[in-house]
Amino acid sequence: MLFLIGLHALFLSILAANLVYLWRTKHARIAPDLLPPVSVLIPARNEAENLRRLLPTLLAQDYPEVEIIVYDDGSEDETWSVIEEAGVRGLRGDGPPPGWVGKVHALYQATRAATGAVYLFLDADAALKEEQALRRLVERHAAAEQRAGTSGAVVSGLPQMRGGGLLLTSLVPFAILTALPLALIPRTKSPSLASLNGQCWLIGADAYHRHEPHAALPDEVLEDVKIGRYLKGKGMRVVFRDLRDDLEVWMYESLPDAWAGFRKNAYLLQGGTPLRFAVAQAVFWSAFILSPLVSPWFLVSLYALKAGTDTHGRFPLVTRLLAPVSLLLGGLLPFDSALGHWRGNVRWKDRVVG
User: What pLDDT does residue 329 have?
Assistant: 96
User: What pLDDT does residue 1 have?
Assistant: 81
User: What pLDDT does residue 354 have?
Assistant: 66
User: What pLDDT does residue 31 have?
Assistant: 82
Q: φ and ψ at 265, to 5 degrees?
A: -130, 0
Hey, what amino acid is at 41?
A: L
Q: Which domains, and CATH codes, for the chain?
A: 2-20+253-352 (no CATH), 26-251 (3.90.550.10)
**Tens digits of per-residue pLDDT, 129-175?**
999 999 999 999 999 999 988 889 999 999 999 999 999 999 999 99
pTM for the model: 0.93
- Positions of the chain with pLDDT lower than 70, given as ranges: 354
User: What pLDDT does residue 150 have?
Assistant: 84
Axis-axis angle for helices 323-343, 296-313 (nearest 10) = 80
Give the distance between the most distant pair of CA atoms in the chain: 61
Q: Which residue pairs, CB below 8 angstroms and at least 24 apart, start in 179-188?
A: 179/11, 179/14, 180/14, 180/18, 181/14, 181/17, 181/18, 182/17, 182/18, 182/21, 182/22, 182/240, 183/17, 183/18, 183/21, 185/232, 185/238, 185/239, 185/240, 186/144, 186/147, 186/237, 186/238, 186/239
Q: φ and ψ at 22, to 5 degrees?
A: -65, -35
Which of these, 241, 242, 233, 237, lies nearest to 187 by C-alpha position?
237
> CA 141, CA 316: separation in Å to the nearest integer?
30
Query: Do the bridges between strand 237-242 and strand 160-163 make them parallel or antiparallel, or are there none, so unpaired?
Result: unpaired
Which of these, 140, 132, 118, 123, lies nearest to 27 by C-alpha position?
140
Hey, what amino acid is at 309?
A: T
**Tens digits of per-residue pLDDT, 58-67?**
999 999 999 9
